[in-house]
Amino acid sequence: MLSIENLHVNVGDKPILKGLNLQIKAGEVHAIMGPNGAGKSTLSHVLSGKSGYTVTAGNVTYQGENLLDLEPDERARKGVFLAFQYPVEIPGVSNIYLMKAALNAIRKHKGLPEVDAMDFLTLVKDKVKLLEMDEKFLYRSVNEGFSGGEKKRNEILQAAILEPSLCILDETDSGLDIDALKVVAAGVNSLRAEDRSFLMITHYQRLLDYIKPDIVHVLADGKIVKSGGPELALELEAKGYRWVEEQVA
Amino acid sequence: MSADQIISQYPAEYAKFADALPGQSVAWLRLLRQDAAQQFSAHGFPSLREEAWRYTNVSAIEKKLFSPATSTEIGAIDIDSLNQHLLADAWSVVLVDGHFSASLSMLDGVPDSVTVMNMANALEQKAELLESYFSQAVAAKEHGFVAFNTAWFSDGLFLHVPAKQVLTRPIQILHVVTQAGFMANTRDIIVLEESAEAKVLETFVGCEEAYCSAAVMEVSLAQNADLTLYKLQMEGEKAYHFGGTYVKQARDSRFTHHNFAFGGLLARNDIHTDLNQAAECDLNGLYLGVKRQHIDNHTRINHLQPHAISHELYKGVLNQRAKGVFQGRVLVAEQAQKTDSMMNNRNLLLSDDAEVDTKPQLEIYADDVKCAHGVTVGQLDEQSIFYLQSRCVDKQTARNMLTFAFANEMVEKIKLADLHDQVLEQLLIRFPQVGIQHNWL
């Protein structure tokens, strides 16, 4: 599904990612943990195509294609979804419109007919229930006036509707109380499928109590320094990030 | 400067038509006109040296010496194109080249207690009532446009709503200029007595050649009265526009203004309001500039007494070589404790050559007040563009959506459905490159 080889990324002149390697197979759930400043968000931004980052070396192949050659919207149409750490408010553009437009863009890309307004509403209302959201959020402007938890739920709602192949969750758990976290995790778990992969970026081990990863990676100083099973997250929890950083040093 | 130096050619030119001006038999008005003409002769149109005019050069109006239209052949007007600007469910006063057209206006069914008539007629029938309101909210010495207007206005609207009367339909004043080189110079007086309510729309349209349209409106709101005033300025591409709206608000009264400045080569709006105790004003504005348009909005809110509330939001979208000006002044008098005032001006510059000069000014002499102001001048937010792209929207469409959403916020505030659709239509026409889709909303 996704193959990252020797990825080096700069922000300005400053190297942030320094030779990152990662292989994600279809259906796998990978968690990337690491201290602040390790390059976690840079990784999610580079994969989704945000500007401001310079790839100085390495390759990223997604479904056999060079991902880095594609515009952000092309990546999205081809099934790469980023759940934002800080979802952006878009006053004046309705949430439900954006979701419908995005879904139809993806369907068009797959050669499928567009969904009509009625079918879309049925689909969306189902997913809204799953995420225990109020339907009124559908008709509001994108993220405008949403609380932090509502914004994160809205991101997962979009993932549930768009059914991406590669779902990148950028600190989706940060700032959520335990009830909200359970709802968001249930939403993510319902999306797990054989042909869908997840890359979860998180600072907190707590998320992994609710979404069980297949593989846990530790990112420090721009590289993956350790990979293992879910037990690695527990070890990290017990010993702290300093343990990893000491091993790197 | 010698005393006999001629500052403006207009007084000599307009003196020729003085006999045709309305209200020449009304003594108080004759005096006002004389005084204003002297004022104008001495100072002319405002110059860049005046603080309130330093960003807006109106010298072209002097050079062009626009002539007054003394009468208009109604036959020259495309009635169908006029009708598209009229609200379906409104009483209307149509002013063609500054003169009332009874045949184009619609005043059937206005309640007997309410006065809606053209100014020339009102000066014949209601001169005594008018005297209490004329030149009360603004005086000729304000600046050259007000002096000029007072001296030589040709017609306008007089609206008087008695106490507790709530108008069931909006009143629309449609200003049309049909010919090149004309100056339409009109004066409106709106009076709402205690607890009266009304909605008024001013619409400005005109031909594609150079002309000037200048309208001065004085509004008097008695205690607890409520006026919503809409202005839709869609002058022709080569037109000069001046619009002055001067409001006096008695205790507990409410004034809501929606100012859409879309047309004209050079357009200037003055909106001033005086707030007495617990009065409230809500000033909304949207200006869209393309090509070489220059659009200047100048607002002044005077908090004179305690507990008054003012909210102001002006938004501008400037493209190509257009220039916008926003000068917003809020004055809080010493006794105006518990004032609540919020002023915001947000500008979107879509090209490197577009420009905006924005100047919010707070002058606060009271010590227990809540006052805030904010100004932004910028391009589209890159974060927002990326977010939309990550949801499959291509970059150009993302830019278009954000531009449209920015402007549309002001359109969504319109409460008259018919007018809302008209203004939305204008937004769609004026940004054709945006490829707006209705379902973005």
Domain coordinates of chain B in residue numbers? 10-275, 383-441
Contact B390 A72 (CB under 8 A): yes
Mind giving me the DSSP string for B305-337? STT-EEEEEEEEEE-TT-EEEEEEEEEE-TT-T
Q: Supply B103's token pair.
A: 């045949």
The pLDDT tens digits of the residues spanning A155-189 come to 999 999 999 999 999 999 888 899 999 999 999 99
Identify which of A28, A15, A35 has the alpha carbon closest to the alpha carbon of residue A236.
A35
Going by their DSSP bridges, the two strands B99-106 and B91-96 should be labelled as antiparallel
Contacts of B322 (CB under 8 A, 6+ apart): B289, B290, B291, B292, B293, B294, B295, B354, B355
- Residues B23 and B7: their CA atoms lie apart, in Å, by 27
Q: Does B408 touch chain A (CB under 8 A)?
A: yes
Contacts of B47 (CB under 8 A, 6+ apart): B53, B59
Per-residue pLDDT at A197 exceeds 80: yes
The pLDDT tens digits of the residues spanning A77-125 come to 999 999 999 999 998 888 998 999 899 999 999 999 999 888 999 999 9
Interface contacts (A, B; CB < 8 Å): 79
Q: Supply A49's token pair.
A: 């195509």
Identify the pLDDT of residue A36.
83
Start-to-end C-alpha separation, chain B: 58
* 10-residue mean pLDDT series, chain B (441 residues): 73 90 95 96 94 94 91 66 92 95 95 97 96 96 97 97 98 95 96 98 96 98 98 97 98 98 98 98 97 97 98 96 97 97 96 95 96 93 94 89 90 95 88 57 51
**Predicted confidence band at A239 (pLDDT cuts at 50, 70, 90)?**
confident
Q: Does A71 touch chain B (CB under 8 A)?
A: yes
Identify the pLDDT of residue B1.
46
Contacts of A102 in chain B (CB under 8 A): 391-393
Q: Does B431 touch chain A (CB under 8 A)?
A: no
Identify the pLDDT of residue B376.
94
Contacts of A81 in chain B (CB under 8 A): 390
Name the β-bridge partners of B252.
none
**Predicted confidence band at A238 (pLDDT cuts at 50, 70, 90)?**
confident
Give how far B267 is from chain A: nearest CA, Å. 27
Identify the pLDDT of residue B71.
66
Contacts of B406 in chain A (CB under 8 A): 91-92
Q: Please check whether residue B420 is in contact with residue B411, taking contact to mean a CB–CB distance below 8 angstroms.
A: yes
CATH number for A117: 3.40.50.300
Contacts of A201 (CB under 8 A, 6+ apart): A31, A32, A40, A41, A43, A44, A168, A169, A170, A171
Nearest CA in chain B to A168: B390
Give how far B397 is from chain A: nearest CA, Å. 11
Neighbouring C-beta atoms of residue A104, cutoff 10 Å: 17
Contact B406 A92 (CB under 8 A): yes
Identify the pLDDT of residue B430.
80
Residue type, B258: H
Q: Does B3 touch chain A (CB under 8 A)?
A: no
**φ, ψ for residue B385 (rounded to 5)?**
-60, -45
Contact B389 A101 (CB under 8 A): no
Identify the pLDDT of residue A233.
86
Nearest CA in chain A to B440: A93
Identify which of A17, A105, A6 has the alpha carbon closest to the alpha carbon of residue A61.
A6
Give how far B406 is from chain A: nearest CA, Å. 7
Q: Does A77 touch chain B (CB under 8 A)?
A: yes
Give me the number of domains chain A comprises: 1
Domain that holds residue A34: 2-248
Identify the pLDDT of residue A184.
92
Neighbouring C-beta atoms of residue B3, cutoff 10 Å: 5
Identify the pLDDT of residue B433.
55
Q: Supply B389's token pair.
A: 């792209």
Contact A50 B409 (CB under 8 A): no
